[in-house]
Amino acid sequence: MRVATWLLAFAAAVVASSPSTAGIEALVHRRLPQHVHSFEFSIANASSAGSSDAYTVSTAHGGKVKVEGNSLSALATGLHRYLTDVAHVDLYWYIGNRLDLASDPLPHLSAPLTGSSIVPYRYHFNTVTTSYTSAFWTWEDWELQLDWMALRGINLPLAWIGVEKIFVEVFQEIGLTDDEILDFLSGPPFEAWNHLGNIQGSWNGSLPLSWVDSQFELQKKIVKRMVDLGMTPILPAFPGFVPRAISRVFPEANVVNGSTWEKFPTQWTNDTFMDPLDPRFTQLQKSFISKQTAAYGNVTQFYTLDQFNENNPFSGDADYLRNVSRGNWDALKAADPSAIWVMQGWLFASNTEFWTNDRIEAYLGGVPVDSDMLILDLVSESQPQWQRTNSYYGKPWIWCELHGYGGNMGFYGQVMNITANPIAALHNSSSLVGFGLSMEGQEGNEVVYDLLLDQAWSETPIETDSYFRNWVTARYAGSQSIPDNVYLAWDTLRSTVYNNTNLTSNAVSKSILELVPSTTGLLNRTGHHPTTINYNPDDMLRAWDLFYGAAFQEPSLWANPAYDYDLVDMSRQVLANAFNPLYQDLISAYNTTTTRSTGSHRALKIRATGKKLINLLWALDNVLQTNPHFRLSTWTSAARASAAGQENLEAFFEYEARNQITLWGPTGQISDYASKSWSGLVSSYYIPRWERFINYLAKTGPADYDQADFNAELLEWELGWQNDTSAGVSLVSDAIHIQDVLPKVIQDWEDIFSLSCTNI
């Protein structure tokens, strides 16, 4: 069996002993305090790292729910299976804990539930999730996240938080000054690209050591909790990126400057990289790993290390590439003889021109022991690389669902690719050892994340119709009943919106309302940030209609936070889809009125069409405002709170938070990459942009249309917005409910909501 072989290959040294179940019991205490005595957990036949996990859940004498398994992750998964499939409750991002709604007494099981994982590893996170999603998280946010992960069977997560502390200490040790070090590090919503060697430093501010310390304290809790919940953290390793001033302390060191990333000025990119063959590289790696082990304990053998993520090697020579990875491996092994090097395989998908098969084979071949590496096939559902690389030339790898870029917010999924494909891969690749999630930002669409994680416990592709049905039953726990129309709504989404099979557009879609206005190039974008709508928009509307109508049949849904969140999200998508035809009306008014109308007549026509589009954006903002998870202020106030009362730092963090979701760079280097449909952002950023555009069209005939001119003026305004701490965050009342807002929106936009079968 694959699992067994792999186990022998690289975890044989780890002697399995029964870990304490206290971490799982503590989870029950946190999330179902009234049932703290209703469960009994035990580990039998403890498995070693790298083998399959198995659980059995049954009702014991006295009515207790008995959860047995061969690992902590097996216990957590068995517990989750019972809670979702039998008690019909769960815990979610945004919505939070709903497990405490489980009935009392807990339901009995007439027959035991059993499950076993078909892969030893369930992986979570992308290196950039640290910046898109958790940049400003508190410990409470992390607690929810870690419980979410444990219950869903994740046992191998990335753990990047607090790494700045280790970098600082390593660099101080070799004589770099604090200023030289802090000039190199990047702030929270950008730190991930510093970790990847794409950028260095911060524009418009700098990170203080106090923040570095606070994140380090946070990481100690995170790592401990991961271990308590049966997860093996993948900790960072020294990747070789160093402050420019390295040449002052190591004049002889073999360093090169990396490539420019996304047209950033050299000051903030071209990171200096120390050659892994330089003996000082090993010195720094040993220093890094030993400081980290001293801080968190000996908790892992997995180290994440990426050097060429959107950053091309100094040379494409096969010998050079083989030497570099050999150098990495030697240094890692010198620091920890049990080390396994984990690498994101994104580079192989994103730069196929550089990464030819020969180069990949050379680079991976530099590591002489296959089991000392673990490759994340980062976009397996859309751009898998494992076939062309013959399963990474024998290195173990994980099948990952990337799903979305930059935390963009469209409804999206590939239910077939994330069920059938990983199973097919398992049959066709003997070095596949895990399934996992590698989304850039965690966003909505939780159902398609759950689906892949559950697929890790099913030998055949999951039947999505019953899966969605079960999922919906747990999702709306707490309402008196769940009307059929709620199931029908989700089933409609399942077979349309969540069933993309045209991979020309292959990730979460972006609405054009979030893009810099233009007469061309907005609609029908394909690829990673598609603006295509890969389904009939009437299907989205039909699902919305069924879903909204359900609360009139079952009014207890109005008070259900999952229903609230989903209704806001579905309404958002319907309005976003409706933006496209209004935009097309505007452009055709512009194009067709010009030839035969006077300037002022044309301007009137454009303003009238434009007004409608602006009004739609206001309606969208009003809808989004009703839920804190769709508000700009939630993001900016988390940023300020993370600065813990230091005034200058508050301003800097808020600036960075605003910058990431808009200009993404000092002057718009990757503008709108991480755009969001958030209340406040729509009203204070997107609406003014479209207003300026409408004014521009009204003033400028098509013959004089100049996009570059328009963009340059717009950029001036966008730069001002970055520091406007009042923009889009005026106090909104939590008392305004989606239920109060939707009727007026529907009335004002009868043509959009024409399908509505609801009796308001």
Structure tokens at 182: 């802090």
Among 495, 615, 700, 739, binds ligand NAG (CB under 6 A): 495
Query: Measuring CA to CA, how many Å separate 90 from each of 34, 489, 541, 592?
Result: 15, 20, 27, 54
The answer to whether 103 contacts ligand NAG (rule: CB under 6 A) is no
Q: Please say whether the beta carbons of 185 and 176 come within 8 A.
A: no
| Phi, psi dihedral angles at 555 (to 5 degrees) | -60, -20
Contacts of 318 (CB under 8 A, 6+ apart): 358, 359, 362
Q: Please say whether the beta carbons of 617 and 745 come within 8 A.
A: no
Nearer to ligand NAG, 526 or 739 (CB): 526
> Considering only residues 264-283, where is the footprint of ligand NAG by CB under 6 A?
266, 270, 272
Q: Please say whether the beta carbons of 553 and 758 come within 8 A.
A: no
d(CA 120, CA 102): 30
Q: Which candidate, 338, 9, 23, 337, places its Cα nearest to that of 155?
A: 23
Contacts of 2 (CB under 8 A, 6+ apart): 430, 432, 433
**Number of residues this chain uses to bind ligand NAG (CB under 6 A):** 59
Nearer to ligand NAG, 334 or 604 (CB): 334
The answer to whether 204 contacts ligand NAG (rule: CB under 6 A) is yes
C-beta of 18: minimal distance to ligand NAG in Å?
12
Nearer to ligand NAG, 415 or 567 (CB): 415
d(CA 483, CA 546): 10
The answer to whether 499 contacts ligand NAG (rule: CB under 6 A) is yes
The answer to whether 46 contacts ligand NAG (rule: CB under 6 A) is no
Stretch that binds ligand NAG, among 279-287, 316-324, 668-676, 730-738 (CB under 6 A): 316-324
Strands 302-304 and 241-242: unpaired
Nearer to ligand NAG, 652 or 693 (CB): 652
Stretch that binds ligand NAG, among 176-184, 448-456, 628-636, 647-655 (CB under 6 A): 647-655
Among 412, 548, 655, 673, binds ligand NAG (CB under 6 A): 655
The answer to whether 365 contacts ligand NAG (rule: CB under 6 A) is no
The answer to whether 501 contacts ligand NAG (rule: CB under 6 A) is yes
Q: Please say whether the beta carbons of 465 and 494 come within 8 A.
A: yes
Among 125, 171, 203, 696, binds ligand NAG (CB under 6 A): 203
| Phi, psi dihedral angles at 71 (to 5 degrees) | -160, 165
In DSSP terms, which residues pair with 114 in a beta bridge? 56
Assign 124 to helix, strand or coil.
strand
d(CA 241, CA 53): 37
Per-residue H/E/C for 462-531? CCHHHHHHHHHHHHCCCCCCCCHHHHHHHHHHHHCCCECCCCCECCCCCCHHHCCCCCCCCCCCCECCCC
The answer to whether 591 contacts ligand NAG (rule: CB under 6 A) is yes
Assign 94 to helix, strand or coil.
coil
Q: How many residues does the chain have?
A: 760
Nearer to ligand NAG, 190 or 563 (CB): 190
d(CA 252, CA 648): 38
The answer to whether 251 contacts ligand NAG (rule: CB under 6 A) is no
Q: Please say whether the beta carbons of 286 and 334 come within 8 A.
A: yes
The answer to whether 328 contacts ligand NAG (rule: CB under 6 A) is no
Query: Measuring CA to CA, how many Å separate 275 from each of 136, 251, 313, 596?
Result: 33, 14, 10, 66
Among 79, 415, 439, 606, binds ligand NAG (CB under 6 A): 415
C-beta of 523: minimal distance to ligand NAG in Å?
4
The answer to whether 382 contacts ligand NAG (rule: CB under 6 A) is yes
C-beta of 496: minimal distance to ligand NAG in Å?
7
The answer to whether 350 contacts ligand NAG (rule: CB under 6 A) is no
How many helices and strands (H and E) does the chain possess? 28, 17
Nearer to ligand NAG, 389 or 505 (CB): 505
| Phi, psi dihedral angles at 74 (to 5 degrees) | -65, -40
Among 255, 347, 516, 568, binds ligand NAG (CB under 6 A): 255
The answer to whether 743 contacts ligand NAG (rule: CB under 6 A) is no
The answer to whether 666 contacts ligand NAG (rule: CB under 6 A) is yes
Contacts of 712 (CB under 8 A, 6+ apart): none
C-beta of 405: minimal distance to ligand NAG in Å?
17
C-beta of 229: minimal distance to ligand NAG in Å?
20
The answer to whether 595 contacts ligand NAG (rule: CB under 6 A) is no
Nearer to ligand NAG, 242 or 551 (CB): 242
Contacts of 212 (CB under 8 A, 6+ apart): 162, 164, 165, 168, 185
The answer to whether 719 contacts ligand NAG (rule: CB under 6 A) is yes
> Considering only residues 430-469, where is the footprint of ligand NAG by CB under 6 A?
464
The answer to whether 174 contacts ligand NAG (rule: CB under 6 A) is no
The answer to whether 218 contacts ligand NAG (rule: CB under 6 A) is no
C-alpha dihedral over 682, 437, 346, 576, to 10 degrees? Answer: -20
Stretch that binds ligand NAG, among 208-216, 331-339, 340-348, 388-396 (CB under 6 A): 331-339
* Cα within 13 Å of Cα(741), Cβ side: 21
d(CA 465, CA 498): 12
The answer to whether 726 contacts ligand NAG (rule: CB under 6 A) is no
C-beta of 46: minimal distance to ligand NAG in Å?
10
C-beta of 671: minimal distance to ligand NAG in Å?
14
Nearer to ligand NAG, 219 or 323 (CB): 323
Nearer to ligand NAG, 415 or 562 (CB): 415
The answer to whether 306 contacts ligand NAG (rule: CB under 6 A) is no
The answer to whether 421 contacts ligand NAG (rule: CB under 6 A) is yes
d(CA 242, CA 197): 9
Task: Return the number of other C-beta atoms located less than 10 Å from residue 151's C-beta.
Answer: 25
Among 61, 337, 733, 759, binds ligand NAG (CB under 6 A): 337
Nearer to ligand NAG, 20 or 502 (CB): 502
Structure tokens at 270: 């071209």
| Preceding amide of 105 cis, omega within 30 | yes
The answer to whether 325 contacts ligand NAG (rule: CB under 6 A) is no
> Considering only residues 515-544, where is the footprint of ligand NAG by CB under 6 A?
519-520, 523-524, 526, 532
Nearer to ligand NAG, 145 or 671 (CB): 671
Nearer to ligand NAG, 118 or 741 (CB): 118
Contacts of 534 (CB under 8 A, 6+ apart): 412, 500, 502, 505, 509
> Considering only residues 675-704, where is the footprint of ligand NAG by CB under 6 A?
702
| Phi, psi dihedral angles at 705 (to 5 degrees) | -60, 125
What amino acid is encoded at 7 in this protein? L
Structure tokens at 18: 């029964």
C-beta of 747: minimal distance to ligand NAG in Å?
29
Stretch that binds ligand NAG, among 414-422, 434-442, 548-556, 618-626 (CB under 6 A): 414-422
C-beta of 167: minimal distance to ligand NAG in Å?
18
Q: Which residues bind ligand NAG (CB under 6 A)?
A: 44-45, 68, 203-205, 244, 255-257, 259-260, 266, 270, 272, 289, 293, 298, 317, 319-320, 323, 336-338, 382, 384, 415-417, 421, 464, 494-495, 499, 501-505, 519-520, 523-524, 526, 532, 587-588, 591, 651-652, 655, 666-667, 702, 705, 719, 722-723
